[in-house]
Amino acid sequence: METSGNDECLDFLNDCLKVVSPLRGAYINIGYYDLPKTVLGRVTAEIEITRTKRTTGLFKRHVVTTVRRKIRNKEFYIKINRLFLKIENENFREEIIKSIIIHELLHIERKDLIETSKNYRKRKHKKIHSSLEREALSRLNALRRIEGLPELSRKNYIEKEISRLISK
């Protein structure tokens, strides 16, 4: 697996990869980008869509279209909101960014980008984010155990601080 991007984000990414299953043959680019205030982080990939049409039936009246999606070259781009550079406390900034990176790595691991690559607002709470938050918290706690830090009981601790930062 190859990584590139901002030096600070690369250090955080390498720490987070300790608790995520290996992504073989993947290329991950990470860095700070200008994103809307409400978006903490985002993972994107170039998705290749292939449509094939096939006729079936007695007189070939029925047309069946199949759609296949795959990620081109296994390239992923993790974008972190540039607002987090304003946090002066480096330890706190590290905690927040690591929690965002783990969340985005879980999207890659679970192949959420391939399954449904459109209409994010509809699927956000139904399919993808239902169990993802608990899993992200457990992975974050596993990372904190490796680093010798106490575990978090809830993710609200980080979310409250992020909302306080955004409201400024």
Residue 77: strand, helix, or coil: strand
Position 155 in a domain:
yes
How confident is the model at residue 157, as a pLDDT?
60
How confident is the model at residue 80, as a pLDDT?
92
How confident is the model at residue 21, as a pLDDT?
80
Domain membership of residue 151 as a residue range? 2-46+73-167
Say if strands 62-81 and 41-56 run parallel, antiparallel, or are unpaired: antiparallel
Residue 57: both structure tokens together: 């039936």
Position 64 in a domain:
no
Please report, rounded to a whole number, the percentage of residues in the chain having pLDDT higher than 70: 78
Residue 108: strand, helix, or coil: helix
Position 55 in a domain:
no
Position 148 in a domain:
yes
Q: Residue 102 in contact with residue 141, Cβ under 8 Å? A: no
Position 63 in a domain:
no
| H helix intervals, the chain | 7-16, 90-109, 112-115, 120-123, 129-147, 156-167
Position 113 in a domain:
yes
Please report, rounded to a whole number, the percentage of residues in the chain having pLDDT higher than 90: 5
User: CATH code at 112?
Assistant: 3.40.390
Residue 1: exposure state from Cβ atoms within 10 A (0-12, 13-18, ≥19): exposed
DSSP at 111: T
- In order, the DSSP letters of 115-138 are H--S-HHHHIIIIIHHHHHHHHHH
Position 67 in a domain:
no
162 vs 79: which has the higher pLDDT: 79
Q: What is the tens place of the pLDDT at every residue in 108-152?
A: 887 776 665 455 555 554 555 667 777 888 888 888 888 888 887
Residue 135's nearest CA partner among 165, 92, 99, 168 is 99
Domain tally, the chain: 1
